[in-house]
Amino acid sequence: MAAAGGAGGGGEQPAAGGNRRLKYISLAVLVVQNASLILSIRYVRTLPGERFFATTAVVMAELLKGATCLLLIFLQKQGSVRQFALFLYDAVVVQYVDTLKLAVPSLIYTLQNNLQYVAISNLPAATFQVTYQLKILTTAVFSVLMLRKSLSRLQWVSLLLLFAGVAIVQVEQGQAGGGSSPGAAQQSYAVGLVAVVVSCLSSGFAGVYFEKILKGSSASVWLRNVQLGIFGTLLGLLGMCWAEGAAVAAQGFFHGYSPLVWGVILNQAFGGLLVAVVVKYADNILKGFATSLSIVASTVASMYLFGFRLHPPFALGAGLVIGAVYMYSLPKAGPPLGPRQEPTALLPLGKEPSEPGYPPKLACKEKGS
């Protein structure tokens, strides 16, 4: 028995070391993905010359993500076209009520994706990154109102600090005129601010609504993204026709596309998939730390790429937001104040679940990691 115990202990050490390395890799991926998407969108939207149509980029991202998920489902069916077709027919057509439930969150997510382009086009990347953390506050509020979830005192304090930090940043940026980068195209700080606030509200509501309507579902994350992609693509095309239909018809769907623009679209489409794969190795504290690091990375990169000027009030506000994000991710001390049931359904990749501000897990059993 002693020998067996010794053997088991020797096997656990390498496993622990491997998990530690996976956590560090997860941290790096989360930081890079969170910061690079915002910085790359900001960069391509402030380049001189003809701009690409943001609405077409949203549609392309939905198509690429949906196609990837269809391919993964096809591989899960061992390459059988018949099983693949029957599975999709049953899940999408036969169970149409379940599919239609996703129309509302899909509409909100499509709106949110378009608003992010508007916001980042009009706000400095660092300012957007800090302000966008309000999604933690909106998701928490909707979770309490719609799902009757409870928050610890530390989490409530962190939300107050979060709001205070964002408010300080907005006051400082408003006085500085928005901190537009030199040579950038005409921008409206007010438009960007409204867009990011509405995006935060839609993000919070959509994540909580998605959890509420899909509790008890056993569908895979790939299928959910296919169902979301059906509505997301259709709604994205309708939004494109309404907002930029005449311009797209005159100049073409891919007008203004460059390798950099394709890089942004691929980041948006596959970034969420990549995060969902690696995030199972990261706990809430690590995810909060990754979000904080991405704010720092975005701020530093903005100073070099866009001539962003870091003033003391902005540093104070950003510091409060970083601290609040980390505090919110800390585990509750003592027994919970109320029931907090995790969703049994899986959230769409790259979207925010009701654990505010963080990417989803791959499977329900991994929620506790």
| Separation of alpha carbons 151 and 16, rounded Å | 31
Angle at CA of residue 220, ends 216 and 225, nearest 5°: 110
DSSP state of 366: G
Q: For residue range 229-278, list pLDDT tens digits in order.
A: 899 899 999 999 998 889 999 999 999 899 999 999 998 888 767 766 66
Q: What is the pLDDT of residues 198-232, one digit of tens each?
A: 999 988 888 788 777 666 566 777 888 888 889 98
- C-alpha–C-alpha distance, residues 274 and 36, integer Å: 13
The set of residues, in sequence order, having a beta carbon less than 8 Å from that of 330 and lying 6+ positions away, is 154, 284, 285, 288
Sequence-separated (6 or more) residues with CB below 8 Å from residue 342: 364, 367, 368
**pLDDT value at position 362?**
41
d(CA 363, CA 218) in angstroms, rounded, equals 10
Q: Tell me, what amino acid is at 156?
A: W
The pLDDT tens digits of the residues spanning 27-82 come to 788 788 878 888 888 888 888 878 899 999 999 999 998 899 899 999 988 888 99
CA-CA distances (angstroms) from residue 300 to 33, 192, 234, 320? 16, 21, 38, 17
Distance of alpha carbon 136 from alpha carbon 321, whole angstroms? 11
Inter-residue long-range contacts of 141-146, CB under 8 Å, 24+ positions, other chains counted = 141/204, 142/204, 142/205, 142/207, 142/208, 142/209, 142/354, 143/208, 143/354, 143/356, 146/208, 146/209, 146/212
Give yes or no for a contact between 352 and 138, defined as CB atoms under 8 angstroms apart. Answer: no
**How far, in Å, CA of 277 to CA of 266, rounded?**
16
Q: How far apart are the first and last CA of the chain?
A: 31
Tokens 């205070």 found at: 164
Q: How far apart are CA 18 and CA 64, in angstroms?
A: 32
d(CA 207, CA 223): 17
pTM: 0.73
One-letter amino acid identity for 147? L
